Amino acid sequence: MKTVRRFLEELYYIPYCSVCDSAAIPPLPSPHICRDCLSTLPFRMGKEKVTWEGAFPLYASLFYRDPVPRMVVSLKFSDRTDRANAMAPLLARTVERHSLSFDAIVPVPLHVKRERERGYNQAALIAGSLSEILALPVIDGWLVRDVYTEPQSLSQTMKERFLHLKDAFTLEDDLPVGHFLSGRHVLLVDDVLTTGATLSAAAAPLIAAGMKVTGLVAASDKDRYDGYREALEAYF
């Protein structure tokens, strides 16, 4: 039975948009995003399959353009974990649009020190919300990041970054999930793709263990951004 408090909360709860934070009148077109924001988000439209140099297919739902950087930064640094729930349905649509199917979702892990500083891993939050929508298991804590990276320094060249991350990720040998996933298709999820070094390094031990990997990130600026109108016209 509902408590009185729960009843009142539901009665007076006003949903707000996870992008602009303004109160939104239900029903929202997306569970957490108001109509205005949904119409201005920089969707990658026909460019969700990213052109890149990686060894496995990669998809991104949004370009890393306003207001996406604001969403991502507050998700990472201001405890705005609700942003992960707003992004996950957009990632799920990308999966559905391309008729992709997977056996499990693996979030790109943070180094344990970084996760302790932040209190959570934003990629794991997105993966968790995505797993509920797609009804897939999320395997967290199996892929591990062994190398601590200082907050991305501008002096680091792309080559240095790739070398630094080369063997940064490993799989926890003693988890039985490894046997279950060998030969299966895993969706590797992260929030943003910039150089691709992190995602490539994170996929390496999964591929080496016999898994088929597909990457999915909320946002990436790889490929040309045409602007919303142009993309929309090309898409429909």
Shortest spacing between CB 83 and Zn ion, in angstroms? 12
Residue nearer to Zn ion on the CB measure, 67 or 205? 67
Q: What is the 3-state secondary structure (H, E, C) of the chain?
A: CCCHHHHHHHHHCCCECCCCCCECCCCCCECCECHHHHHHCCECHHHCECCCCCCCCEEEEECCCCCHHHHHHHHHHCCCCHHHHHHHHHHHHHHHHCCCCCCEEEECCCEHHHHHHHCCCHHHHHHHHHHHHHCCCECCCCEEECCCCCCCCCCCCHHHHHHHHCCCEEECCCCCHHHHHCCCEEEEEEEEECCCHHHHHHHHHHHHCCCEEEEEEEEECCCCCCCHHHHHHHHC
Residue nearer to Zn ion on the CB measure, 20 or 133? 20
User: Which residues are near Zn ion by CB under 5 A?
Assistant: 17, 19-20, 34, 37
Residue nearer to Zn ion on the CB measure, 89 or 205? 89
Residue nearer to Zn ion on the CB measure, 25 or 135? 25
Shortest spacing between CB 149 and Zn ion, in angstroms? 33
Residue nearer to Zn ion on the CB measure, 34 or 91? 34
Shortest spacing between CB 22 and Zn ion, in angstroms? 6
Shortest spacing between CB 78 and Zn ion, in angstroms? 17
Shortest spacing between CB 37 and Zn ion, in angstroms? 3
